[in-house]
Amino acid sequence: MTATTAPSLTERRPRVPTERLLDELVPPQHFARESFDTYRPDPSYPSQARTVERLRSVATEVERAGTGGGLFGFGRKARPAAVYLDGGFGVGKTHLLTSLVREVGRADSAYGTFVEFTNLVGALGFGPTVEALGGKRLVAIDEFELDDPGDTVLMSRLLRELADRDVSLAATSNTLPGSLGEGRFAAEDFLREIQALADRFEVLRVDGEDYRHRVTTTDLGGLPDDVVRASIAGRDGATLDEFGALLDHLGEIHPSRYRALLDDVELVGLTGVRPLGHQSTALRFVVLVDRLYDRDVPVLLGGSGIHGLFPAEMLAGGYRKKYYRALSRLGALAEQGRSLVA
């Protein structure tokens, strides 16, 4: 196989049945082996250890939710648990959330990102989504976002409906690196948006540093395009795309299909990587980065690489949390890609 005949993601137009959307509401492969026992709290940030212990007890509460609270099971029904993990990038919130899911049991839980749940409502409709999730003990929402008012109101309504069905809830959010106050502000906004549930949620602050920044960079330059092409050539499970062509292709596929777009892909090569010029294009690329990270798919970036990928005005705008998360994750995947072909 030569570089010119390497498979391309733009050749794929996956069709995803509804059943698959529901079956994929599980923790990503990246966290498949993680648990509370594998989480290593940083002693410099006591809130990490406190959160682990609290979530262990939450797992027990989830098991009791919906049962009688009095003697011999009679009495007032226990209120379903509802916790909200608030903290910066890379402090292990997703690790903790997936560990909670593991403790409760995957069959009794539904796990997904905020975007995946909004996509699910778009694919199934609101009522069927409530019915599909209403039978779970726990619904875990990673990366709850406040960027889009419409989506936020939609998710707030969904959470109310699920809580009314005694489904326990757990969510996480991101804050800007080094911005101590913004985490609390995000939590307050979240609670204000779901006023009917505000008294049910317990906010758990998870302080710490981004562990990904300790081993990688979010300003990594690109490899020469010829090196990317040569590295992809002949590799099973590798794909090769020109960056602009891939961005155009993503605009023609619903984000709920991005996971299927990466089926059997083990390495992604991108040539001609350059700064993103449009917000809608950048947001679609962020979703793809999240799906690559979920599956631990290394990437090889040509062109300018991560350097300047999101222009300064994007990093200062309303979607900055998403962009910083994408840079952190893409940097880690790019380092993996370079190590793989070194």
The pLDDT value given to residue 146: 61
Q: Are 177 and 58 in contact, with CB atoms under 8 Å apart?
A: no
| pLDDT bucket at 175, cuts 50 / 70 / 90 | very low
Region 189-213: mean pLDDT is 68
Residue range 284-300, pLDDT digits in tens: 999 999 999 989 999 99
CA 261 → CA 8, 219, 254, 295, distances in Å? 10, 27, 10, 12
Cα(13)–Cα(198) distance, integer angstroms: 41
Res 211 pLDDT > 50: yes
Residue range 26-62, pLDDT digits in tens: 998 888 889 999 999 999 999 999 999 999 999 999 9
Residue range 104-161, pLDDT digits in tens: 998 999 999 888 898 889 888 999 999 999 999 999 999 877 666 677 778 888 988 9
Residue range 137-146, pLDDT digits in tens: 999 999 877 6
Residue range 87-100, pLDDT digits in tens: 877 788 999 999 99
Domains of the chain: 3-9+214-341 (3.40.50), 43-208 (3.40.50.300)
Residue range 60-78, pLDDT digits in tens: 999 876 454 444 444 455 6
Extract the tokens encoding 61.
């509460």
The pLDDT value given to residue 262: 96
Q: Which of the pair, 16 or 79, is modelled with greater confidence? A: 16
Res 183 pLDDT > 70: no
| pLDDT bucket at 318, cuts 50 / 70 / 90 | confident
The pLDDT value given to residue 192: 62
Average pLDDT of the residues of the chain: 84
Question: Cβ contacts of residue 326 below 8 Å, gap of 6+?
Answer: 285, 286, 289, 290, 310
Amino acid letter for position 18: T
The pLDDT value given to residue 131: 95
Residue range 224-278, pLDDT digits in tens: 999 999 999 989 999 999 999 999 999 999 888 899 999 999 999 999 999 999 9
Amino acid letter for position 70: G
SS3 string, 22-60, reads HHCCCCCHHHCCCCHHHCCCCCCCHHHHHHHHHHHHHHH
